[in-house]
Structure 1
Amino acid sequence: MKREEILTLYHSNPDSIASYIEDFEFRYKALEFRYKVLEFRYKVLESQNIEFRERISELESQVKFKDARIEALESQVKSKDARIEALESQAIEFQERINELESLLNQNIQSNKKPPSTGTFIEKKPKTGSSQEGSSKRPGGQKGHPGSTLNQVEDPDEIIFHRLHKCRCCGRNIEESEAIGYKTRQEFNIVVMRKVTEHRAEIKKCPYCNCKNKADFPKSITKPVQYGITVLTIAIYLRNYQLIPYNRIRIYMKMSLDLR
């Protein structure tokens, strides 16, 4: 309304002017309240926006870490593939060697089965008796005899530590965390004389998520105590190539190398 209209209305009807002012004041307060509500909602949204930005930054950091972890795993996979190929190649060589030894063994067996007329002209020496007296016992372990097995030793010749680098639960670096224990496995091997290698896999507790982690043992170490590849190779050689009985091989391993 214009000023002249307000003055005319005031002189003619003051009550209407008072009502108009009261209505205006009510509408002003309503707008003021609405403004405060909008201002409060704006602050809430602004706070949420800050939280969202922080969360986005955290997620981006996790994505970068996961990408690095994926690259590391891909590198490990490539390394494992190369190792598998090398082991497969070794397995083929071992199989060829086994076939060769089995062929020699079969030839020896066949030559022993030939009748005297087809053999070589070698005069057989008369038997003068065996150095080992006969026994009424059946071959093998006797009932009630004390058993023996391969046990871990307290003083291994060599200790190899297998370290932990990442937490298996949350993926974070725990290299600097102190180990809370070790899981041990021992591999008995031969290097001129008996050599016991103890493998210790670290056990660590993640300081971030409290997950308990244990390092991996090598693939070839599957038991708490076992023979190494050198011992197995010698045993196979003595049995399949030299045709030495199992009992004599066992005696040799025990007396010469202190292996049971």
Structure 2
Amino acid sequence: MPSDKSIASLSKKIDDLIELVNHLYGEIKDLKRELKSLQRENAQMKEKLSKYEHPKNSNNSSVPPSKDENRPFKSKSLRKKTGRKPGGQKGREGKTLQMVSDPDKIIDHSPDYCKCCGLELGSIPGILVGRRQEIDIPPITPVVTEHRVYEKQCNCGHVTKSSFPGGITAPVSYGSMIESLTGYFHSRQYIPFLRMQELFRDIFSVPISEGGIHYLLNRFSSKALPVYHKIKDMITTSSTVGTDETGGRLNGKKIWIWT
């Protein structure tokens, strides 16, 4: 049997090993906490660096253009401060809707019975005591005009055929008013083709394709070409020419447009 001395020695070694294990276990816990902290810091650094390696902007994400880092600086107003509050100033002449003397439609509203005794008032003439006018737009419906050509045979035997008006070259085509509105919506109001389709369909009940809009714009621009050349000639021969420089962005790059 082992002696008491050897048992005591083994017991001390076991205690030392237990103490060492507890110490190492504590260090492992500390290292794990430190590792988690470093992992969090690493993730945060990666997120920050990703903004510079692959920055998000209005071209590759849902970030609005106003948040682009390289967006053009907002121009400052050149107006001088007047010290006055914004909005209408005292003493200014106000503008309001005015009644017209010859309305397109008149609706008379007369009482049918007495609100006191209930007597019928239909046979009693009324006295005008008030007027109010309402301005509105009537329902818009397209007008389809059919052009028909005829031929007639003269007593001499010759057959004469009439001609379609100028511009009526297809079995079905759009008229000058739709052509003018297309040019106005596109060149003045800057309405995209798809929204212009919706506008013609929903407001005017006129179906039109993107190709149809493109065709009408080309037709309209060809009519304006003589005026364009006249303006160009006037600018070319003018002693003074005014220009405008406008900044913009195209495919993420800054561009300049001179007009």
Q: Normalising by structure 2, report the TM-score.
A: 0.27
Q: Normalising by structure 1, report the TM-score.
A: 0.27
Q: Which has the higher helix share?
A: 1
Q: Which has the higher strand share?
A: 1
